[in-house]
Structure 1
Amino acid sequence: MIDFRLAGLDITDATLRLIIRHMPLLSRLDLSHCNHLTDQSANLLTAVGSSTRNSLTELNMAGCNKLTDQALLYLRRISNVTLIDLRGCKQITRKACEHFISDLSINSLYCLSDEKLIQKIS
């Protein structure tokens, strides 16, 4: 299990590509308050062939204000997710989070335990 905390840093998509390439066993990633991250960043983390698509279990993108509801469509691809923190992401709606949870809850049970904090409960 590899935990990588980059909260508040000037992380770009180029940085994410390096992380994906060189940290194939990454399971917990804290990108909270990284203000340059966009929906495309979520797409990179979850793209076909991306190691993080299968290895990530926890992703913190709280306070990443450029993320929109579109990011949730990409984050749905993470196969082993147990926690996604999107608190403070002003362009992500609660309705989109609820829809995200209903899509994920086919095989496992997820809940919205706090405003935009998505957790697996079974």
Structure 2
Amino acid sequence: MSWAVGVKDSQIKDLIVQPGSESRSRLRGLLTLRLAGLDVNDSALKMIVRHMPSLRRLDLSHCQGLTDQSINLLTATGCNTRNTLRQLNLSGCNKLTDACLSYMKRLSALALLDLRGCRNVTRRGCENFISDLSYCTVFCLTEDKLIQRIS
């Protein structure tokens, strides 16, 4: 659904949740979700976390409503995405800061994190993220703000 014009949280909810049932999802087994350039906010992230327990790849690039708190929601205790999410693209999300990197440390399966074009995320912050996780996983900075697992 990337770059679809006029798609908001309400339309995303209609796609995810079965009508008349807030607890049943149409996309429960979905592995990849691309919402690049959409007007995604925290309520959509809550639905994604709740209704897509197997999600492995999530593209939220250029979603201008995302904040550090949004990443906190995505990686919160009890969320399946905390253990399943392998690739997360947040490139061009300009409200994110280095503070979001502390939440990213919760993603135990993370293999690729794209923060290119995030003006308020620094290279130093990315280097600190890699250093902090070096006791359990080896990551490298392959490009400016593109973090990949190498072991």
Q: TM-score, normalized by length of structure 1?
A: 0.98
Q: Tell me how large the CA RMSD over aligned residues is.
A: 0.8
Of residues 100, 104, 112, the one that matches 2:133 is 104
Return the alpha-carbon distance in structure 2 between the equivalents of residues 67 and 6 of structure 1. Answer: 17
Read off the aligned partner of 1:95 and give its amino acid letter. R
Return the alpha-carbon distance in structure 2 between the equivalents of residues 9 and 105 of structure 1. Answer: 34
Q: Deviations over 1:26-85 (max 9, x none)?
A: 000000000000000110011101111111000000000000000000011100100000
Displacement of 1:106: 1.3
Sequence identity, in percent? 60
Of residues 52, 55, 58, the one that matches 1:26 is 55
Of residues 64, 82, 91, the one that matches 1:62 is 91
Higher relative contact order (CA 8 A, sep 6+): 1
Structure 1 stretches of 4+ with a deviation exceeding 6 A read: none
Displacement of 1:21: 0.6
Q: Mind listing any 5+ residue stretches in structure 1 that lack a counterpart? A: none
Higher Rg: 2
Read off the aligned partner of 1:18 and give its amino acid letter. M
Return the alpha-carbon distance in structure 1 between the equivalents of residues 94 and 137 of structure 2. Answer: 29
Read off the aligned partner of 2:84 and give its amino acid letter. S
More strand by share: 1
Return the alpha-carbon distance in structure 2 between the equivalents of residues 106 and 119 of structure 1. Answer: 16
Displacement of 1:105: 1.7
Hey, what does 1:80 align to over in structure 2?
A: 109
Q: Mind listing any 5+ residue stretches in structure 2 that lack a counterpart? A: 1-29
> Is 2:67 the counterpart of 1:50?
no
The 3-state SS of whatever aligns with 1:4 is strand
Q: TM-score, normalized by length of structure 2?
A: 0.79
Displacement of 1:103: 1.1
